[in-house]
Amino acid sequence: MPWSVTVSPGFALSACGDDICLPDAVRIDIRQPRPSGSDVCGPPVDPWCAPMRQRRDPDRTYYLAIRYAEQQTRPVRGACSCGCDGDPCEYSRIAESWTFAVLDSLPDCHDESTRGPVGGEEGGLACSREIRARGTRRCPDCCDPWVVLADLRVTASGTVSVDPLAHRRFLAQLGEHAFFCGPDTQPKRVDFSAVERETIAGLFAAGERRVVDAGAREAVLTSPATALRGGKASKAIRTLVESMSVGELAGLDSALLHAKAADLGADADAVDRLVESARIAVRLAQPG
C-alpha cells in the first residue's frame, strides 16, 4: 500500500534500558507524525476526529523509530457504577507497550562525534581500572528513548523505499565471552618520584616511554629490551636482545652476553650501555 510500511515482529533495547517487544507485524501510515501502537479506542467514526496527516517531502530522509510506552488496560466497573462521572469503568492494570514515530532527524544517540572509543582495556572485555574503582562498569547515558529501525524515503505518489541498515544499531551477543577481576589482573602500581620517573623515561627510546605512564613495576620489567635507548642501534644488537625483556636483560650474565655479542659482531661498548640501562631501570622500578 502507498504511504505505508510494515514492521515485522522483533525485540529492541533502548538507550534507556527499556525492553521493547513487538509481538506481531504492524502496518504504519508514515504520514502520521506519531503513529501509535495498540490503540485502546477504535477508529473514530467522525472523519473530523481522524489523525492529522503530515506531508512528506520526497527530497528528504525520514527515520522510522520505536520507543517503549505504557498503556492502561483491564477496565473494570468502578465504585460509582451508575456512571456519575461520565465513565462507569476504570483501568486496573498498566501494560507494557510501544509507540512508533517518523522522525525528521536522527536522535542524539546517533551522533557519531559523541561516541567514545570502542575496544581496548577500557572499552572491551577486560577488567579495567574503572571497574576496580567503581565495582562495575559505568552505565551509558539515556540520551534518547527512540530506537531507529529504518531510513525512509518517499515519492510524491506515496511509494516508500526502506533502508533498514543505514542507522539501525545491533546488539552484540557476548554470552560466550567473560572476564573477571582477579588479584593479578592489574599490575602493582609504584609511586615513582618525579626524578625516578624522568630517569626511567630517559632510559627508553622516545616512542617507548609510555611504560612510565603505566606507573607499574611489571610494565618496566616486561617491556621488550629493544624499547631501551640504543636497543635498535644496529641489526646485531636487535638480534641479540630482540627476544629478551628489560628484566631478563638486566639479570643476564655479562660474560655470556659478551660471547653472544662477539658472535654477532655487535659493538661491545654499546651492549654494555644497553645492559646498564636495563639494570638502572629495574632498580628504579623496585617498590620501596
Grid coordinates in use for 286? 623496585
Cell for 71?
Answer: 498503556
pLDDT for res 78: 67
User: What is d(CA 229, CA 235) in angstroms, rounded to the nearest whole number?
Assistant: 14
Q: Is the pTM here over 0.85, yes or no?
A: no
From 273, 213, 215, 265, select the one nearest 249 (Cα to Cα): 273
User: For residue 212, what pLDDT is reported?
Assistant: 67
Buried residues in 43-68 as b, exposed as e (16+ CB within 10 A):
eeeeeeeeeeeeebeeeebbbbbbbb
pLDDT in tens, the chain (288 residues): 888 999 999 999 888 889 999 999 999 888 876 665 444 334 444 455 555 677 888 889 999 999 999 988 888 876 655 555 566 678 888 889 999 999 989 987 776 654 544 444 445 667 777 777 777 777 767 788 999 999 999 998 889 999 999 898 887 777 777 777 766 545 555 567 778 878 888 888 877 767 666 656 677 878 888 889 888 889 899 889 888 888 888 888 888 888 888 898 988 899 899 999 999 988 887 755
Residue spans per domain, the chain: 4-110+139-163, 194-285
* The pLDDT of residue 42: 40
The number of angstroms, rounded, from the C-alpha of 147 to the middle of its chain's C-alpha atoms is: 17
- Pair type for strands 26-29 and 89-103: unpaired
